[in-house]
Each structure stands twice: as structure tokens, then as C-alpha cells.
Amino acid sequence: MIPLSFYLVVSTTMFVVGLIGVLVRRNFLIILYAIELMLNAANINLVAFSHYFQSTTGHVITLFIITIAAGEAAVGLAIIIVLFRKKATTNVDEINLLKW
């Protein structure tokens, strides 16, 4: 039986890696990947707790999170396509249209 804390450590590390990825990378696409990593870390946490508390709540919320992640991916990719059409880059440093 694997203790709960192992899952928590793995998901924490994965979350922090995703966080560093959002902060560090310049490519918009990779930033979206890092956001997916963070959502997955949250999923691991939810499923682990729902396993150890013996309830299905975590599973259901994990389903919702996966759905939201898919929607977020679709909208984010649409934004990337529009930006790429306008500026021919995915570098977040060069996207400063809203800057005043």
C-alpha cells in the first residue's frame, strides 16, 4: 500500500515544475503545456485524496477539471492562431498589444 504522502509529494513537485515552466518559458504553447501540467498535478491530488477518503467526489471533480482543461486548450490554441496570424510569433515578450 503506497502511503498518501508519496502521491502528494509527486503532485506538489509536478505543480511546481509547471509553475516554473509558466514563469520561465517564452513560448506561448509551452506555457499552455505547463498549465496542463499544473492541472494534472491537481488531478493526482484529488484522486489520491478521494482514494484515501473512500469517496467518489474527487473522481467527479477530476472529470470536470479534465473537461475544463480541454476547453481551455481549445480557446488557448485559437488565441495562439490569431496571434500568430497577426504577429507571426508565439513569443510572449512580443505580444504587447494591450500595453499602453
- Smaller CB separation from other proteins, 21 or 100: 21
Taking CB under 8 A as the rule, which mask of x and - marks residues 6-25 in contact with other proteins? Answer: -xxxx-xxxxxxxxxx-xxx
Q: Give 56's DSSP letter.
A: S
CB of 3 to other proteins, least distance (A): 4
Q: Tell me the CA end-to-end span of the chain in Å, nearest whole number.
A: 56
- Report d(CA 99, CA 94) in Å as an integer: 11
CB of 38 to other proteins, least distance (A): 10
- Report d(CA 19, CA 37) in Å as an integer: 9
Half-sphere exposure (Cβ direction) of 21: Cα atoms closer than 13 Å: 18
Neighbours of 12 (CB within 10 A): 13
30 near other proteins, rule: CB under 8 A: yes
- Considering only residues 70 to 99 of the shown chain, the ones binding other proteins according to CB under 8 A are 70-75, 77-82, 84, 90-91, 93
Q: Give the 3-state secondary structure of residue 95.
A: coil
Binding site for other proteins (CB under 8 A): 1-5, 7-10, 12-21, 23-27, 29-30, 32-34, 36-37, 40, 43-44, 47-48, 50-57, 59-60, 62-64, 66-75, 77-82, 84, 90-91, 93
